[in-house]
Structure 1
Amino acid sequence: MSEPQQGNGTPRSGVDDGEHRRLAPRPLDRPGVDPGQASVFGRPDGVPGAFSSDRPPLNGSNGNGVRLGPPPPEALSTAFGRPQGTSELLQRPPLDLHGEPEAEPVFWEGKPAGDAWRDPGASAVIGPPAVTEEPAKADESRPEPGPQLSVPELLFGRRVKPMGLILLMVAALAVGTAGGVVGWLLGKVGNPLTDGGVTLAEVQPGKERPVGSVSDIAKRVTPSVVSIEFKGANVAGVGSGVVIDGGGYVLTNDHVVAPAVQDTSAKLTVVFTDGKRAVAQIVGRDSKTDLAVIKVQVDNPTVLRFGNSDDLAVGDAVLAIGSPLSLSNTVTEGIVSALHRPVTAAGENGGPQVTYDAIQTDAAINPGNSGGALVDSTGALVGINSSIRTETGGSVGLGFAISGNYARKVSEALIRDGEVKHADMNINVRSASAETAEGAQVQNVPEGGAAAAAGIQERDVITRVGNRVVRNAAELTVAVRDHEIGETVPVVLAREGRELTVQVTLRSD
C-alpha cells in the first residue's frame, strides 16, 4: 500500500518510515509577498531593524532606541548562561553525521506501526470494542440450586406430621381469642370511661413558660405589688402600691392615702400577696403630681426595681398590676398607646390641681389599680398607674400612668425630706389655639416671679420650653417641671405676631 501524500508529494509528518523513526516536519510553504502591500506596510529603505537609526539612543539602549534591561546578576549568568566561546542556543535540533536533523524514535517503538490506537497520524474510524475476550457463559458459572427446606423443617428443625401442625395452630388461635376476650371484659369493668358511648376530650402536654413571657413576668413582679386598704368611721376603700425599697417603703398615689389623712379614725393596712398584713405610716405626699410614699415594718420584702421610662416607645408591651375592684394580684396586658400625655385632674377636697406627664396604655386599668405598677417586658417599673378616661365608669382602654423616671425622683425626695419642690415660672396661663398655632397664653404675671424677671408679659403665648413643644396649659406645667429649680431654660413665645425667645431662670413653686 502506498504512503499517503500531501499536496507537494512529501510524506506526512509523524508517519513511520518502516524503521520506527519519525520523519522531520515538511518544509514550510511561504507564499510570496504582494509588492503593493510591501510598499505600504514594509520597512522603509535603509532601515535594517525595527526602529529607525536616526532616533536618539537612550540610556541603557542598544543604539537602536530600544531600552534594554539591566544585565543579569553574575551568579545567574554563571549558572544558566551560555558557555564562553559558544553560540549554541538552549534548544537545538539533534544533527546526524551529515548535518541533517535526526528523526527521533516514535513513542510506539516496538509496536505495529499500523495500530490505530498508537498511530497519531491515522484516520479516525469506528471499529470493534477493545475487549475481545468472550465472557464466560452464565450456565457454566451459576451453581445448581440446592433442595429447599419445608415449613416444618424451618420452624422445628425436623419434619412434623401435617396433623400435628393443624392441631398446634388451632390451640394457638384458641388461646389468643380467650386472652382477648378476658382483657376486654376486665377493661370494660375496671374503667367505665372506656365505654363506647363516651368521648374523651383530647389534652395537650403542659404549656411551657419561657423567660420573658407574661406568666414569667407576673410571677416575678406580683410579690412586690401590694394592696392598700384604708378603713375608718366614714371612709373605706382599696388601692395599690409598689415596694420600692428594702426598708419597707411603698410608692402609691396620693389620692389612695388622702382619705385616711382626712379621716383621723382611718387606718392604712398593706396586704402582701402571701396574705401578710402590716399597718402603714405616711412618709410624704405630693398632691400636685398625685404621688405618696408610705412605710411598713416587714422582713425581707420583694422590691421592684425601676426601669428607664425614657426608653419606652409607642407599641412596647406593658403589664398593669394591682388590685382593681378589690381583686388583688390582678395582671392585665397591653401596649404603650402614647407618651408624654399631659393629664390634669381636680385636687382632693379643693386641693391644688393634679398635673403630671403620663404614659398612656390600653392595658385594662380600673378603680383600685391606682398606685399599682406598670412594668415593661423585662419586669422593670416604668410607671405608676394613676387614672383612666371613661364615660361609662369602667375601663375603655384609655389608662394613664405617671412616668417612672419622674415618680422615682419624687419618691426619693419624699423619703429624704418628707416633701418635694417643683420648678415653676410663677405665672397663670390658659390653653389657647389659633388657626396657625397653639400654646399656653399668659393670663397673669406676679411680680418677683421667674416669668416677670425674664420679661414675659400678659397675653404672650408660650409655644416651647427648652426642647419640648407646648400646646396647652397642662403641657407647659409638665415641661417646666421636667427641669430643675435654678436652671435657666429658653422659652419661645409669640407676642403681637412676632416670635421671641427669652431665657427664664426657674424658681421653686
Structure 2
Amino acid sequence: MSDTPDWAARDGADPTRDPSTGDRSGEPREPHRGAPVSPQTAAVFGRPDGVQGSFSQTPSAQPQPQIAAPDPVLAEAFGRPAGTADTLQRDPYATFGRDDDEAEPADPWRDPGSPAQLDAPALSEPEADGPRATGPRMGIRELLFGDRVHWWALATLAIVAVLVGVAGGLIGRWTAEVIPPLNSNTVELDVDDSDAASGDVAKVATAVAPSVVMIEVRTASEGSSGSGFVVDKMGYIVTNNHVISAAANDKEAKLEVVFSDHNRVPARIAGRDVRTDVAVLKVDDVENLTVAKLGDSSKLEIGQPVIAFGAPLGLDRTVTTGIVSAVDRPVPLRPDASSDTDAVINAIQTDAAINPGNSGGPLVDAQGRVIGVNTAIAAAGGGSIGLGFAIPINEAVPISEKLIADGSVTHPQIGVTAATVRNDQVFGARVKDVAAGSPAARAGLKENDVITEFDGRPIEGADELTVAVRMAKIGQEVKYTYWRDGRTFSGTVTPGDD
C-alpha cells in the first residue's frame, strides 16, 4: 500500500493518468451516454449530413429552418421608411413635417434676431375714461318748460300720439263690425208648440208596436233574446225557431215574453219547425192583446218601402226602414252551438237594418201589414250591412197554423240529395243520390242527372231545389226539367211527405 493519502490521489496528480491526453494509463475510455435525441431535434440542431467534427458551410440535403418574409402590413407599419439608412435613428437636424418657409414672428420684441430700431411706445392707446355718474331725472315740468327739449321734438311726439289713437279707434270699430260677438244675453230661442203632423212611418210604428214582443231565454250558462209578434188573441206569438231553440233543448231554461208596455210574462212553446225556422209560443192570462195584421207577400214589388220591428241587441221597440231589395232569395240556415235550425228559406231581401235580436220580429209594409218574419242577415263583422232576409208571411202562416193545431209539421220531399253544379254545359242541382222507392226513383231520376227547373222555377243550385220542393204540395204532381248526357228532358214527379 502507498503512503500517499487518499485525498492526495483524488485532488493531486494521478499517477495513472497520462499527462498529454488526460487518460488513465492502462484503462480503456468509455463513450459518453446521454439522453436519446429525437430525429426532429437532430435535424434542427445536429451536424449536416457528411460533416464530422466542427460545422462546415456545406449545404445539407436535409430541410433547414427558413425565415419567412414578414407580412406586408407589419412590414409597412414597423419597417424602415423608404430611403433611410440601415439604422432606425433619425437625423436630429431633419425638418420632416415642417414648412420650409415659416412666417416671421409678428412681434419683433419676441424675436431675438431682430435689429434694434425705434418703435411705438408699449402703451399706444389712451386709457378709457372712468364711469360717469347718472344725472338727475327729467320731470314733465322740465320737459315742457325747462327749455331742454326742442319744441319740434315735442310736436312730433304729440302728432304720433294722436295718430296712434286714431288708428286704434278705427281698427277697433272695424273689428267690431266685421266679427260678431261670441256671446249675447239678448238671444231667445223660438219653440214651435203647434202639433206636428205624423209621417207614414210614425203612424205605422204607433199602430204595430203594441203587437211586437221581445223574447228572452235564460239557461244556467247563458242568455239570449229575440223578437216575435202576436197573431191571435188567445196568446199565440210567431217567432223563429233559432230564437227559442235553447229553451226547447233545455228543460231548465226560462222563457219569457216582454210586451211593449214592459209587462213580462212566461211563455210556452206551442210548436217549432227546424226545416223552416218557424216557431209558435203561447202566453196565458194576458188581456187586451194587440194582434198584428197579416199581409200578402206574393204581391211584393222590388223597391217598395218596408219597416222592420224588433229588439236588436236587446234594445226593444226598435224600428228601422228600408225597401224590398229582392224576393225568392234562397238562404241556407245551418245548425250551430246555439240552434238546431237546418233550413233553406225562400227569403225576402231588404236593406232595412236587421241585427241580432231582430230575429222573429215582423217586417211590415207601408200600411202596417206583416209581409215577412225577420230571420237572418249577411254581415262581415256581425252587424247589418244592408243585407237582411225575412221569411215570406205566405209561407210562415200555413206552418204556424199547423204548429198551433198539431205542434209539428211535415214537408214535401222527392227523395234526392243534390249538389250545385255550374259549368260550361249546365247550371243546376246535380242528383247525388236517389232513395229507393222514393218519388224521384219512381219518376225515373238517376244519379248525375242535373235538375234545371222545378214547378216552373229555374234551378241554379241545390238550395233553390230544396226551396222549390218544399213549396210544392204533398201528393200533387209537379213538372220538372233535367239534363242528362248533354240532352235536356222533361218529366213529372209527385212529392211525398218527410
Q: If the TM-score is normalised by the length of the shorter chain, which range does it land in?
A: 0.5 to 0.7
Residue aligning to 1:315:
303
Q: Distance in 1 between matches of 2:432 and 2:341?
A: 18
Q: Distance in 2 between matches of 1:457 and 1:207?
A: 70
Q: Secondary structure at the match of 1:401?
A: strand
Residue aligning to 1:488:
477
Specify every segment of 5 or more residues in structure 1 that has no aligned partner in the other structure, as ranges.
1-194
CA contact (8 A) 2:456 2:480 kept: no
The structural deviation recorded for 1:318 is: 0.4
Q: Distance in 2 between matches of 1:295 and 1:487?
A: 33
Q: Distance in 2 between matches of 1:358 and 1:433?
A: 22
Q: Secondary structure at the match of 1:451?
A: helix
Specify every segment of 5 or more residues in structure 2 that has no aligned partner in the other structure, as ranges.
1-182
Q: 1:352 to 1:401 in 2, by over 3 A?
A: closer
Residue aligning to 2:441:
452
Paired amino acid for 1:396? I
Equivalent runs, 1:425-464 vs 2, <5 Å? 425-464=414-453
**Residues 1:261 and 2:229 are matched in the alignment:** no
Q: Which one of 393, 397, 421 corresponds to residue 404 of structure 1?
A: 393
Paired amino acid for 1:458? E
CA contact (8 A) 1:366 1:395 kept: yes
The structural deviation recorded for 1:306 is: 1.1
Residue aligning to 1:360:
349
Q: Distance in 2 between matches of 1:388 and 1:341?
A: 12
Paired amino acid for 1:332? T
Q: Which one of 433, 446, 460 corresponds to residue 471 of structure 1?
A: 460
Q: Secondary structure at the match of 1:244?
A: strand
Q: Could you give the per-residue CA deviations for residues 35-65 of structure 1, whole angstroms, max 9, x where no partner exists?
A: xxxxxxxxxxxxxxxxxxxxxxxxxxxxxxx
CA contact (8 A) 1:314 1:337 kept: yes
Q: Distance in 2 between matches of 1:352 and 1:220?
A: 32
Q: Distance in 1 between matches of 2:488 and 2:184?
A: 86
Equivalent runs, 1:53-72 vs 2, <5 Å? none
CA contact (8 A) 1:440 1:462 kept: yes
Residue aligning to 1:285:
272
The structural deviation recorded for 1:345 is: 1.8
Q: Distance in 1 between matches of 2:490 and 2:390?
A: 33
Equivalent runs, 1:188-227 vs 2, <5 Å? 197-204=185-192, 206=194, 208-210=196-198, 213-227=200-214
Q: Distance in 1 between matches of 2:195 and 2:458?
A: 48
Q: Could you give the per-residue CA deviations for residues 232-278 of structure 1, whole angstroms, max 9, x where no partner exists?
A: 21221111011011110000000110111222211110010011111
The structural deviation recorded for 1:425 is: 1.2
Q: Could you give the per-residue CA deviations for residues 202-255 of structure 1, whole angstroms, max 9, x where no partner exists?
A: 444546435x70000000001000000111212211110110111100000001
Residue aligning to 2:491:
502
Q: Distance in 1 between matches of 2:455 and 2:194?
A: 54
Q: Distance in 1 between matches of 2:197 and 2:240?
A: 33
Q: Distance in 2 between matches of 1:196 and 1:341?
A: 60
CA contact (8 A) 2:215 2:228 kept: yes
Residue aligning to 2:263:
276
Residue aligning to 1:414:
403
Q: Which one of 230, 233, 247 corresponds to residue 217 of structure 2?
A: 230
Q: Distance in 2 between matches of 1:374 and 1:305?
A: 11
The structural deviation recorded for 1:285 is: 0.7
**Residues 1:252 and 2:239 are matched in the alignment:** yes
Q: Which one of 316, 320, 326 corresponds to residue 332 of structure 1?
A: 320
Q: 1:207 to 1:469 in 2, by over 3 A?
A: farther
Q: Secondary structure at the match of 1:307?
A: coil
Q: 1:328 to 1:502 in 2, by over 3 A?
A: same
Q: Secondary structure at the match of 1:215?
A: helix
Q: Distance in 1 between matches of 2:461 and 2:351?
A: 24
Paired amino acid for 1:216? K
**Residues 1:344 and 2:332 are matched in the alignment:** yes
Q: Which one of 291, 299, 302 corresponds to residue 290 of structure 2?
A: 302
Q: Distance in 2 between matches of 1:329 and 1:273?
A: 7
Paired amino acid for 2:483? A
Q: Distance in 2 between matches of 1:208 and 1:278?
A: 36
Q: Distance in 2 between matches of 1:383 and 1:239?
A: 15
Q: Distance in 1 between matches of 2:425 and 2:186?
A: 73
Q: 1:207 to 1:490 in 2, by over 3 A?
A: farther
Query: Number of aligned pairs?
Result: 314
Q: Distance in 2 between matches of 1:221 and 1:352?
A: 28
Q: Secondary structure at the match of 2:474?
A: coil
Q: Distance in 1 between matches of 2:335 and 2:451?
A: 25
Residue aligning to 2:376:
387
Q: Which moved more, 1:435-444 or 1:498-507?
A: 435-444
Q: Distance in 1 between matches of 2:288 and 2:205?
A: 19
Paired amino acid for 1:413? K
Q: Could you give the per-residue CA deviations for residues 366-418 of structure 1, whole angstroms, max 9, x where no partner exists?
A: 11001001000110010000110011111111000011100011101100111
CA contact (8 A) 2:410 2:497 kept: yes
Paired amino acid for 1:294? L
Residue aligning to 1:32:
none
The alignment's TM-score, normalised by the length of structure 2, stands at 0.61
CA contact (8 A) 1:235 1:263 kept: no
Q: 1:209 to 1:450 in 2, by over 3 A?
A: farther
Q: Distance in 2 between matches of 1:207 and 1:493?
A: 63
The alignment's TM-score, normalised by the length of structure 1, stands at 0.60
| Higher alpha-carbon Rg | 2
Paired amino acid for 2:300? L
The structural deviation recorded for 1:447 is: 0.4
CA contact (8 A) 2:245 2:340 kept: no
Q: 1:206 to 1:439 in 2, by over 3 A?
A: farther
Q: Could you give the per-residue CA deviations for residues 479-502 of structure 1, whole angstroms, max 9, x where no partner exists?
A: 111111111000101111111111
CA contact (8 A) 2:242 2:341 kept: no
Q: Secondary structure at the match of 1:230?
A: strand
Residue aligning to 2:229:
242
Q: Distance in 1 between matches of 2:429 and 2:477?
A: 19
The structural deviation recorded for 1:352 is: 6.1
The structural deviation recorded for 1:200 is: 3.0
Paired amino acid for 2:294? F
In percent, how many aligned pairs have the same letter?
A: 45
Q: Secondary structure at the match of 2:360?
A: coil
